[in-house]
Amino acid sequence: MSSGVRARFFGIVAGLIFTLASSAATAQQPSSSYLVYFGSAAKGFYAYHFSPSTGALSKIGVVGAEIERPTAFATDPANHFLYVTSEVGNDGKTEGAIFSYKLNTPTGAIEPINKVMAGGGGTTFLAVDKTGKSMVVDNYGGGSVAVFKLSAGGSIGERAALIQHSAIGREAHPHHAIIAADNRHVIIPDLGMDRVYTYILDPARATLTLPQPAFATLSDKYGPRHFAFDPKERFGYLIDQNEAAITQFAYNKKSGELKLVKTFSMLPENFTGTKSGADIWIAPSGKFLYASCRSDNTMQVYAIDKNNGSLTLIQRIASGGKAPRAIGADPTGQYVFAVNQQSDNVTVFRIDAATGKLTQGQQESMPVPASVFFVGTAKN
């Protein structure tokens, strides 16, 4: 970044910080709330407080207005720094970027630290390891996975690794990155390759290596999208975008190997429309799995068998909008959110802890929302 561009970038954001901090100071923050950001397919992202006691979202404002398509977020383990992707270049012709900020958790205000290029286009996801020393990044448009070193001061350092996915007759599109509890294995679904990769991460060196076997293969054109572990990491569950299905895997914690167990369709009987699965989340209890389906604009709830991990559909409920691209839960696990991109709104659902079923609550309008990300712990 040239000195002139850098100056303009920091000048713009400094003004945004002042505006956000001022508005946050005058607004009454809920007595016990969480900071939550909603990503966007436009410019800038949306900061809110969420109160678990009332189930209400309270708008703070728009931040990061300099970022085009800020669709994914991560923080360091202490929640001092925020990392945000710029998902440009899904055509593979433009390089995506990652921004780092100093984070003020009570107010949602952010202060710029630095920006780096991602090594490929369509930077769609990022994950920070549990030591806060490295960050894994998916470049959906570029078909690559990058690893960056992170400094103690929050800046994104050198790109230590760039791995290009490839196979004859395939167009790679890595879409998600989940770091296992051991902080050693990283699961990366590749939508274009119909593979779910397992990498071995060295956080100190910010490197990835492939074990053997290196990946699990799905049926042709299933489109692996997002992945979630059950709390004990006995099983992993994958949303298949192109088939609108959920695939269950048995997971070997020692080797990182994934073995396909069964695939469950998310579609109603005799469905004839476009198939499009989107996102997945598993309750902390491990009893219920939640998924969004863009085929019929629904949130779906599945009971997880405690012995074999099999899924049973127990609820299909309207997402409250169109194209629920992403879902996410508040840190208490009492609520799950549907991010309805094509209807420009987010729907809050309360979870019945006993049955797992959802009850619709607040709906909040915002332009082209793309993701939901909670920061830190409740602020009293």
What is the model's pLDDT at position 377? 54
Instruction: Report the pLDDT value the prediction gives residue 342, as an integer from 0 to 100.
Output: 98
Q: Strand pairing partners for 196?
A: 189, 216
Closest CA to 178 of 195, 158, 161, 198: 198
Interval 228-248: pLDDT, tens:
999 999 999 999 999 999 999
CATH at residue 263: 2.130.10.10
Q: Residue ranges of the chain with pLDDT lower than 50?
A: 1-31, 378-380
pLDDT tens digit sequence for 1-19? 444 444 444 444 444 443 3
The predicted pLDDT at position 2 comes to: 46
Say which residues have a Cβ less than 8 Å from residue 243's Cβ, sequence separation at least 6: 219, 221, 222, 223, 263, 265, 275, 277
pLDDT of residue 65: 95
* Nearest by Cα to 280 from 224, 318, 322, 233: 224
State residue 23 phi and psi, 5-degree precision.
-65, -35
In this prediction, residue 63 carries a pLDDT of: 96
Total count of domains within the chain: 1
The whole-number pLDDT of residue 379 equals 41
Q: Name residue, tokens 């900020």.
A: 101
The angle subtended at Cα 12 by Cα 45 and Cα 85, nearest 5°, is: 35
pTM: 0.91
Alpha carbon dihedral 342, 141, 236, 221, in 10-degree steps, equals 80
Q: Which domain holds residue 355?
A: 3-379
User: In degrees rounded to 5, what are phi and psi of residue 56?
Assistant: -105, 140
Tell me how far apart the alpha carbons of residues 17 and 193 are, in angstroms, rounded to a whole number.
Answer: 41
Half-sphere exposure of 173 (CA within 13 A, CB side): 20
Q: What is the C-alpha separation between 260 and 236, in angstroms, rounded?
A: 9
CA distances 277 to 15, 121, 191, 281, 298, Å, are 39, 23, 12, 13, 10
- Specify whether the CB–CB gap between 100 and 81 falls below 8 A: yes
As given in the structure block, the two tokens for residue 218 are 């799905």
